[in-house]
Amino acid sequence: MSEERFGEFVLVRRHGHVAELVLDRPKAMNAVSTDMARSIAGACAALAADPDARVVVLSSSHERAFCVGADLKERNSFTDADLLRQRPVARGAYTGVLELPMPTVAAVHGFALGGGFELALSCDVIVADRTAVVGLPEVSVGVIPGGGGTQLLPRRVGAARAAELIFTARRLEAAEARDLGLVDLLVEEGRDREEALELGARMAANSPVGLRAAKRALRLGQGLDLRAGLEVEDAAWRSAAFSADRAEGVTAFNEKRAPRWPGE
């Protein structure tokens, strides 16, 4: 397993074709400061360009928190001009995760609040253990979710449920979060990272071209009518159907062996 650090607060570990992006600011429960936001964006840019990274798992080094959201201690010192200048940096962290071209899995335990939960919502699948507490409490401090929460949450749970959760700023424990669809897989305490990495490994065994094409179809087709969505799917299918991965997949199937994906 190799490791690479991006700034002080972000670490990328390699597990074969699974890249683990670790939020590593334990003294602040992974509160996202300006420096940390830059590091998340930088790590995501590097991973997006890496053909060996087939799946990304987003995890935390803190025992009791995934991420508690924006660094409000830092923001308390901001002028309005400071906040305005920082906004593109903060957005870059969330869009960096959201726009990763390969499948992404969040491994959540403890607190995942505000921007922390938005980082998880930016992933394709959320694995949470029974200690997880999630929510978007931004209106309780005079702002609104600004890392995609107002758009990503209703896509998971519907407009009315998202409105109730955002307007009340309430926190949900793991079981209720799973029942309402805020997280996808609920695992035993302390197993979120291991289960997410195992899920990532199962995904990464498949064609990297196919994985990225399927993600494009899923993401770009959201919210479209059926006819338009099928056109999105057809374009993604064409990008995979004439690839070297498709040729290898068919050959490996007929030769009854595991495929050796060229990734192109």
Q: How far, in Å, CA of 72 to CA of 155, rounded? A: 27
DSSP 13: E
Catalytic residue among 115, 147, 148, 210: 115
Amino acid at 238: R
Residue 138 among the catalytic residues? yes
The reply to whether 115 belongs to the active site is yes
Distance CA(111)–CA(94), nearest Å, equals 18
The active-site residue out of 31, 70, 213, 240 is 70
Contact 37, 219 (CB under 8 A): no
Q: Is 118 a catalytic residue?
A: yes
Catalytic annotation, pick one of 20, 118, 195, 248? 118
Q: Which run of H or of E encompasses 12?
A: strand 10-15
Find the catalytic residue in 138, 147, 162, 210.
Answer: 138
Q: What is the DSSP string of 166-210?
A: HHHT--EEHHHHHHHTSSSEEE-TT-HHHHHHHHHHHHHTS-HHH
Q: Which of 101, 129, 249 is nearest to 190 (CA)?
A: 129
Q: Decide if 188 is catalytic.
A: no
Residues 6+ apart with CB under 8 A from 76: none
Residues forming the active site = 70, 115, 118, 138
